[in-house]
Amino acid sequence: MKKFALAGNPNSGKTTLFNLLTGSTAHVGNWPGVTVDKREGVYKKLSEPVAIIDLPGIYSLSPYTPEEVISRNYILDEKPDCVINIVDATNLERNLYLTTQLMEIDVPVIVALNMIDEVEKAGDSIDAAKLESKIGLPVVKISALKNQGIEELMRRGLEASKHPRKGTTVLEGGKLTHLIGDCKIALEGAGVDNALFHAIKLAEMDELEVKMHPKSAGMVEEFKKTFSDDVFGSDFEAIVADSRYKYIAHNYSSALTKKHKSGKDKMSVSDKIDRVLTHKVWGIPIFLVILFAVFHLTFSENLLWIGAALPEGWVSLPGTAFEGVFGDGGINSPGVIIFNLLDLATSSLSGALGDAMSAAGVADWATGLVVDGIFGGLFAVLSFLPQILLLFLFFSILEDSGYMARVAFILDRIFRKFGLSGRAFMPMIMGFGCSVPAMVNTRTLADENERVATIRVIPFFSCGAKLPILTAIAGGIAQISGLGNADLITYGMYLLGIVVAIVSVLIMRNTTMKGETPPFIMELPSYRTPQFRSLMMLLWDKTKHFIKKAFTIILASTIVIWFISHFSFNWKYLPDENMNDSILAGIGQFIRPLFTPMGFGSQLNDWGWVFVVAAITGLIAKENVIATFGTLAACITSGFVADEALEGVDSVANMISATGIGVPALIAFIAFNMLTIPCFAAVATAKAEMPSKKKFNNTLIFWVVTSYMAASMIYLIGEWWWTAFIWAVLWAAAIVLIVLYNKGKLQNLRLPKLSFKKRS
Ligand code: GDP
Ligand code: MG
């Protein structure tokens, strides 16, 4: 099968085109650096099927970052039959810079002028035929978003792939040409492929290249001495780059006709918006407000803050089937309304099933397993799906509109002080979705220690699977103690994760993970209206993933949990009331003391072990925490509330009254689950992405220690406020030690080395 590679600048629409061509649903993001690995699919609408490869975005073929290396090596080593160079036509000059390098490789290249819809909307026009004759490569105008020009592009691409092509260059005239010519002949003599391309990279003194061809590099070195350009001296990289840009400006730009000749004195709308959103002082508060609005719309039960002013019963609809769905006191947010509607459906379903099973004379334990174990557990988690989706919808809108890229830009200013570049922010934000792709995305970070530090804190950006823990417990707290709104608590916990991440990075970058913070260069993408179709595709993907997980890992876990909570060590069935004699309870009782400093250990009553075992099941998948609550709460219920499968919030409320746990301990419980060792999949990914086994082991320790410390601090301060002073002193001492150490004041201080002697 023929192979076509998509190469282009970040954010030029490669993935959008890839999805369109191959019918896949790869993640499209309105910011650079979303695709870090190459991805393959098949285009079937030509006379023969063609494999399409989506490469990470690159600005040039002189790599600075790992993903640039991936793209360059792919084109040079795998020799695709055609390279589709996707060019953001709204940014023609800058994008063509890469084109002038791609054309130097001996491979057929076709230029796709993407986003032509935006160019035309702005009233500009591009003469593709003229550009084509100047560049000497086929040029096709397309819109990947609006599906325009795609067939022509592929047809001409196929045509181009049939004729082998020799590299050409725009670097002509002058002394430099001699050097390139000489290098090329030398390389050809040595049997090197793509001699022209390599010769030019040598002339640019490209690091990779100098290592590969040391002999020819010597020649360039000699030549350098005879060379003195008046502007750049003998900085060949700059000379070459300058010639490329000059060539583009002289020869290609005439193909573009702008509606407004001088755009300089007029500020674009986008610039005006940016002046506010990326403001030095207001940028961050605006971000925090936007983030709160998102949580408020998803979790609030008092949407307009006018609950108290409403006439009795107006929104709660007492006596109807929809009692409390749209509000109870206050008006519910869209997220809570969908949640309630789903809740209505699932609880009547499991109620009816339970009744039917008992009526049919099914054994007690079987009814228990199905209604409490499976339904209780699964529904506890599934009931949060609507809110998870809604939250993701909001996040995706923020991302696709181009706002998140601005946030990265604002945060770079602060992050830099902590030893992280704004680039690290992208994988972190991805962590709000799922840690696994986020950890993979850290490959865009050039400094290894920065990368390790980032991978370690990614789980602190609470992922979709952790959301049910936050929501259910926040809801439970609100319901039992009447304290705070669920939206505020959830929002607060997200912020807590971010703060812990920043503090951890700060400490790591000043102690064990020192390193340079590379400059962060990111162009801000233009603001765009998010595409309905791509948003829906994303949500559909999430839903599929979630349902699949629910009916595999989570289902299996709830069944296991139900069994070991209803059988004793000598394998006798125990009814709900005797659950405290079960295997699970035994295990929980045994390890409980470890959790005492965090408030959910030995101080709770007989049922207290449920918190410990729930946290442990979370190590497999974080949804399990609430699934376990669901399963167990339905059984504890017998003595407390209704006897039916309980949704997440009710099951937590039930746990609270059954165990006597207090609010500080509940918050500590959320914090512990959020910050501790993430799920199995994330741990495996961290292991694969870490540079060494030792760093991975330290990462596990880091997660355990951080979560334990943060959760204990929350519990202790929440329970006895004056302990805050003790913590403050401890922290101050730690900071002073780190600062002194880094200033070299403590160099004489030798820590006693522990040594273990082998017993003979
Ligand atoms: P990549 O980084 O090159 O893979 O770029 P993406 O495919 O992720 O797209 C970046 C942004 O450009 C997204 O917001 C897309 O919706 C948008 N986009 C892609 N193609 C077009 C197009 O033809 N027209 C317009 N108006 N927007 C596009
Ligand atoms: Mg992409």
Residues 278-335: tens digit of each pLDDT: 888 899 999 999 999 999 898 887 787 776 667 776 777 777 777 777 877 778 888 8
Contacts of 488 (CB under 8 A, 6+ apart): 295
Higher pLDDT, 650 or 680: 680
Mutation pick for ligand 1 pocket among 14, 28, 88, 94 (CB with most ligand atoms within 8 Å): 28
What residue type is assigned to position 334 of the chain? P
Closest among 490, 515, 425 to 671, alpha carbons compared? 490
Contacts of 717 (CB under 8 A, 6+ apart): 664, 723, 724, 727
Does pLDDT of 643 surpass 50? no
Does pLDDT of 659 surpass 50? yes
pLDDT of residue 741: 84
Residue 29 beta carbon below 6 angstroms from any ligand 1 atom? yes
| SS3 state of residue 721 | coil
Residues 411-449: tens digit of each pLDDT: 887 778 777 877 788 888 889 888 998 998 888 787 889
Residues 676-698: tens digit of each pLDDT: 999 999 999 999 999 999 999 99
Residue 124 beta carbon below 6 angstroms from any ligand 1 atom? no
Q: Quickly state the pLDDT bin for 647 (edges 50, 70, 90).
A: low
Atom of ligand 1 nearest to the CA of 402: 14
Does pLDDT of 537 surpass 60? yes
How many angstroms separate the CA atoms of 444 and 552, rounded? 33
What number is the average pLDDT over the span 246-251? 85
Whole-angstrom CA distances from 739 to 66, 500, 729, 743 are 33, 19, 15, 6
Residue 33 beta carbon below 6 angstroms from any ligand 1 atom? no
Residue 145 beta carbon below 6 angstroms from any ligand 1 atom? yes
Residue 183 beta carbon below 6 angstroms from any ligand 1 atom? no
How many angstroms separate the CA atoms of 525 and 191, rounded? 43
Written in H, E and C, the secondary structure of 475-499 is HHHHHHHCCCCHHHHHHHHHHHHHH
Atom of ligand 1 nearest to the CA of 32: 2
pLDDT of residue 641: 45
- The residue to which tokens 């400093």 are assigned: 597
pLDDT of residue 644: 46
Does pLDDT of 266 surpass 60? no
Domains 2-161 and 177-257 share a fold: no
Nearest ligand, CA 143: 1
Q: What ranges do the domains of the chain cover?
A: 2-161, 177-257, 389-740
Class of the CATH domain delimited by 2-161: alpha beta
pLDDT of residue 640: 47
Residues 612-628: tens digit of each pLDDT: 999 999 999 999 999 99
pLDDT of residue 485: 76
Residue 57 beta carbon below 6 angstroms from any ligand 1 atom? yes
Nearest ligand, CA 17: 1
pLDDT of residue 504: 93
pTM as predicted: 0.78
6: CA distance to ligand 2 center in Å? 10
Residue 378 beta carbon below 6 angstroms from any ligand 1 atom? no
Query: 420 with 453: CB under 8 angstroms?
Result: yes
Query: 706 with 500: CB under 8 angstroms?
Result: yes
Q: How many CA atoms lie within 13 A of 34 on its CB side?
A: 21
145: CA distance to ligand 1 center in Å? 7
Of 227-236, 237-246, 427-436, give the range with the top mean pLDDT: 427-436
Residue 12 beta carbon below 6 angstroms from any ligand 1 atom? yes
Residues 187-211: tens digit of each pLDDT: 888 888 898 999 888 888 787 788 8
pLDDT of residue 751: 54
CATH topology of domain 177-257: Helix Hairpins (1.10.287)
Does pLDDT of 600 surpass 90? yes
Does pLDDT of 228 surpass 90? no
